[in-house]
Amino acid sequence: MTSSELVTEQIGRDASRGLRWSLFGQLGMKVASFAMGLVLARLLAPADFGTYAIALSATAVLMHINDIGLIAATVQWRGRLEDMAPTATLMSSVFGIVIYGLFFIGSPWFSQAAGDRGATPVVQLLALTIVVDGLTATRSAAIMRNFKQDKLTLANGFGLLGNAVVSIGLAAHGAGAYSFAWGQLVGGIITGVFVMVSARLPYRLGFNREIAGKLMKFGLPLALSLGVESIALNVQFAVVGRLAGAVALGSFLLAYNVSIWAQTILGTAIRYVSVAGFSRLSEADDDALSAGVQRSMPLLVTVVAPIVALTSVLSTPLIALLYGSRWALAAPVLQVLVLLTLVRMVNNLAMDALMGAGATRANLWVNLWWALVLIPALWWATQEWGIRGAAWAQTIVGFLVVVPLSAVALRRVGIPMRPIALALIRPLFAAVIAGGVAFLVAKASGTHAFVQLALAGTVGLIAYVPLAVPGDQLRDWYGAVRRFRRRSEPEPDFDPEATAVIVSD
């Protein structure tokens, strides 16, 4: 075995362990968040969700740019982490505090532009989470860089517990939208404390001009790219709030939250290891990155496509069963908006591969064109057709603009697209068939939401699997599951063919 193969094997083992913990943690977090959401949906009014959505849209954008790309730069750093950590810590902390201060001053204008000036204090409170994120950014990156996702999972779990206690407690006492803001802030602080302790990286501040230059060269285009991406993802809340009002925005937010379930569980878990994995592959072998993307992209689509298709056709009984009739307005939005999940997960994997290759400027251009096309389309569609029009605008732009641009960017770093495109035909076709079958079964299953979901969902999956997954691949998956169950062994079995998939996922 060559030295390159040995390095790749070790990367596969580390990334596999990290991915298992990420998936476990994200699944647990999603179940807990879902339960918390059910409780809050019954304690709060749709208008409270609308106010929170305005605050969330602002915070999400700021959270992507406040560390100026230093988390990814730390994960991708070539050299000793201890040498660059003081400079990275100082930079991310200062930027987090400065950005929050500027936004605090401008938050009344933002809230008014989003259609609810009364949301200003909620926005200002929730945005404090970016300060916490800036102070802990380098330690979070160190944990991800070393594939120690078990520590990150534990930190996030304790943070979510604190969030739930505060949010539900305040909501029960009539705090309205402040329930969300205080809950997330307290949860972020708890998570930050655990991250600082778990990283085992001395908290030192310093400044080295050469290190700062390297960090900025990698991180600044990435920060701009993530900022633009976040605008493209979150401008929907400001536009819908401005044009449709807080009540409609509340229903839109609930539909959006349901639509990203798969992205939250799978996508976040993947991202915790993918940037580090792609970086290591790119450094080890010129062809390893290309092979990893070619294998992982079809696998990702195979897993996500049936979730998207079945959620779309079963959106009405799903919303009715989980949230009740007063949230019925969210169902037609979910039916369309969930299709965008597939676009986002494919784009995120492509962006992670580009980051691993060091091509952060390509990320910026893809996201810039996404935002430039989306914003006018979103505004026009919301004016014409309300919140369902907003969902259609984002989905159409995603498929017609984001996916092709991501493909072009990958091709320019040496990753051929033809093998990936051919491999995607089968799962996408199978998802369409499964969705059609589920739709017909739901229509024939009566009016009870649970019966519709159980029967149509089961039959849809049964129809999907043999169409989407070849028999030999099913056997490989079964073997992978058996290896996953033996994860507690000191040296788990290693499948060379699965390494690129696990790492790049």
- pLDDT tens digit string along 272-298? 566 666 766 666 565 777 887 888 899
Mean per-residue pLDDT, 101-124: 79
- 455: three-class secondary structure by DSSP: helix
Residue spans of the domains in the chain: they are 3-504
pLDDT at residue 333, as a whole number: 96
What is the residue-wise DSSP string for 122-179?
HHHHHTTHHHHHHHHHHHHHHHHHTT-HHHHHHHHHHHHHHHHHHHHHHHHTT-TTHH
* Between residues 279 and 258, the one the model is more confident about: 258
pLDDT at residue 68, as a whole number: 61
Burial class, 486, CB count within 10 angstroms (exposed 0-12 / middle 13-18 / buried 19+) = exposed
Mean per-residue pLDDT, 110-119: 73
Q: What are phi and psi of 89, to 5 degrees?
A: -65, -45
Mean per-residue pLDDT, 406-414: 91
Q: Select from 339, 346, 330 the least CA-distant residue to 312.
A: 339
Quickly state the pLDDT bin for 27 (edges 50, 70, 90).
low
- What average pLDDT is seen over the chain? 80
Q: Is the pLDDT of residue 225 over 80?
A: no
Q: How far apart are CA 318 and CA 328, in angstroms?
A: 10
Mean per-residue pLDDT, 305-331: 92
pLDDT-wise least confident of 150-154, 335-339, 412-416, 490-494: 490-494
Q: Is the pLDDT of residue 449 over 60?
A: yes
Joined together, the tokens standing for residue 228 give 């633009």
Q: Is the pLDDT of residue 501 over 50?
A: no
Residue 146 near residue 198, CB atoms below 8 Å: no
pLDDT at residue 92, as a whole number: 83
Q: Is the pLDDT of residue 158 over 60?
A: yes
Q: Is the pLDDT of residue 496 over 50?
A: no
pLDDT-wise least confident of 16-20, 236-240, 495-499: 495-499
Quickly state the pLDDT bin for 235 (edges 50, 70, 90).
confident
pLDDT-wise least confident of 204-208, 297-301, 421-425, 457-461: 204-208
Q: Is the pLDDT of residue 495 over 50?
A: no
Joined together, the tokens standing for residue 284 give 């080890």
Ranked by mean pLDDT, the top range of 25-29, 175-179, 430-434 is 430-434
Q: Select from 1, 2, 10 the least CA-distant residue to 281.
A: 10
pLDDT at residue 421, as a whole number: 94
What is the residue-wise DSSP string for 227-245?
HHHHHHHHHHHHHHHHHH-
State pLDDT tens for residues 77-104. 766 777 788 888 888 888 888 888 888 8
**What pTM, to 2 d.p., does this model score?**
0.66
Q: Where are the alpha helices (H) located in 398-448, listed in sequence order?
A: 403-412, 418-443
Mean per-residue pLDDT, 473-484: 64
Q: Which residues contact 438 (CB under 8 A, 6 or more apart)?
A: 309, 310, 313, 314, 456, 457, 459, 460, 463
Quickly state the pLDDT bin for 252 (edges 50, 70, 90).
very high
Above pLDDT 90, what percent of the chain?
27
Q: How far apart are CA 496 and CA 8, in angstroms?
A: 9
Joined together, the tokens standing for residue 166 give 């505060």
Q: Select from 51, 477, 437, 31 the least CA-distant residue to 246.
A: 51
Q: Is the pLDDT of residue 15 over 60?
A: no
Q: Is the pLDDT of residue 306 over 70?
A: yes
Residue 95 near residue 38, CB atoms below 8 Å: no
Mean per-residue pLDDT, 53-61: 66
pLDDT at residue 504, as a whole number: 37
pLDDT at residue 494, as a whole number: 38
Q: How far apart are CA 117 and CA 123, in angstroms?
A: 10
